[in-house]
Amino acid sequence: MSRVLIVGAGLTGSLCACLLRRALQNQVHIVVWDKARGAGGRMSTSRPPEPSSHSADLGAQYISATAAYHQSHHSFYAELLSAGVLRPLECPVEGLRPRDGGKDYMTPLGMSSVVKHFLSESGADLFLEHHVTALYRRGASWEVERQAGGSETFDAVVLTMPVPQILQLQGDLGKLLSVEQRQQLDVVSYSSRFALALFFPPDAELGVSWGARYVSDSSCIRYIAVDDRKRGAGAPGRGPTLVVHTSVPFGLQHLERDKEAVQPLILQELSRLLPQLPQPLSIKCHKWRYSQVQTAVPDCPGHMTILDQPPLVCGGDAFCHSNFDGCVESALSVLAALEAELRGHAPSGQ
C-alpha cells in the first residue's frame, strides 16, 4: 500500500482521508497528523471544564448551504443527516440573512462531530500533537519531520493547514514552489477573531429568547449563541453555554495581544449587551489567528500540486472558499489530483 500523510485534522483533511479510502480502498494506508490536542480544526468543539455544563463550538457555528451546493453536494449532506450528525437549524438566529433555496444545519453533538464522522469513515491512523516542521524529498518518497523530533517517510503528502503555516515549513518545499505558485499563496489572507465560551451551572437562566444573534451595535462583539439551544435541546442536568465571537476589526486590532489580556475587554462589552447574565462557572477564551479566508488563491482551483512524483498537494478553504462546501470542493479536487498518481504506485517500503 502507498502511505499517504494528510497534515491537518480539520474538515478538508478528514474529508480527503475519507474520499481517498473510498476511492482506493486497500491501496492506501492513510495517516493524519494534527498539531492540536483534538480533531476538528476550525470546526472544534470544546469540552466544558465542569461536567455540569454543555460543550461549546468555539469555531464554526452552523452549516449553510446554497441551493446549488445543496444539490451538487447532496450525497455529503444526505450522509451526515442519515448518520444524525446534521439536523436542520430550527432555533431562531437573529440577523441571519435568508437565502433563496438555501438550507441551514446544526450539529447536535457539536461541530467537531462532522470531522470525526469523516475520520471514522476513513479508517485513518490519527496522531494528535504532531506538529510538522519540515518536508524533504527522498527519491520517490517524502521524509516528514515533527517539532517534537523524529521523522517518517510517506509516498504522498497532503497539506491542509492554513497557507501561512504551509509557507513556514522548512526543507524542500520552498525551492519546489514555482514563482507563480509563491505569488498565488502570498495573496491569501485571513480574518482573525477571538471566541469566548461561558459555562453556566444547571440552574442558570440567561434571560434571552433567541438561540443565536448577530450583533450590529458593537465594535467588539459580532455574534452570540446559546450553544445548547442552537443545537436543538440541552442534555438534562447540564447548564447552558454561551459562545461569543468578536468582530473582525476587533480581532485584528488585538491579534498580537495575549488572550488573557483581551478576555476582560470582551466580557465588559458582553456585560453591556446582556447585563442580566448570571455568573458563569468558568470561561474559556480562544484566539483564531486564521478564522476565515478573506482572499483565496486566485481562481479558486481547489488544490495546488507542488510536485507530481512523489505527490505533494495543498488543499483547504484557502484554495476555494471558507465554508463547508468550500472544503468539500477542495477535498474533491485533491482526490482528483491524487487518485491517478496513487493507483498502482510502488510503496516506500515502510
Apex 169 CA angle, 147 and 131, nearest 5: 30
- Report CA-CA distances (Å) from 191 to 259, 274, 290: 16, 26, 6
Q: What is the pLDDT of residues 102-144, one digit of tens each?
A: 899 999 999 999 999 999 999 999 999 999 999 999 999 999 9
Mean pLDDT score of the chain: 94
Q: What is the pLDDT of residues 47-75, one digit of tens each?
A: 888 888 899 999 999 999 999 999 999 99
What integer pLDDT is reported at residue 345 of this predicted model? 55
For residue 350, name the pLDDT band (cuts at 50, 70, 90): very low
What integer pLDDT is reported at residue 234 of this predicted model? 65
Rounded CA-CA distance 120/219 in Å is 40
CATH fold group of domain 1-35+129-189+296-350 = FAD/NAD(P)-binding domain (3.50.50)
Domain residue spans of the chain? 1-35+129-189+296-350, 46-111+192-291
- Picking from 162, 217, 161, the residue whose alpha carbon sits closest to that of residue 189 is 162
Give the DSSP H/E element, type plus range, for residue 158: strand 156-159
- Picking from 167, 3, 35, 15, the residue whose alpha carbon sits closest to that of residue 80 is 15
For residue 348, name the pLDDT band (cuts at 50, 70, 90): very low
- Say how far residue 314 (Cα) sits from the centre of its chain: 15
CATH fold group of domain 46-111+192-291 = Polyamine Oxidase; Chain A, domain 2 (3.90.660)
Model pTM? 0.94
Give the DSSP H/E element, type plus range, for residue 164: helix 163-167
Q: What is the pLDDT of residues 88-98, one digit of tens each?
A: 999 889 998 87
Does this chain's domain 1-35+129-189+296-350 share its CATH topology with 46-111+192-291?
no
For residue 5, name the pLDDT band (cuts at 50, 70, 90): very high
Q: What is the pLDDT of residues 248-291, one digit of tens each?
A: 999 999 999 999 999 999 999 999 999 999 999 999 999 999 99
DSSP string, 47-93: PPSSTTB--EE-S---EEE-HHHHHHTHHHHHHHHHTTS-EE--S-E
Strands 212-214 and 93-94: parallel
What integer pLDDT is reported at residue 121 of this predicted model? 98
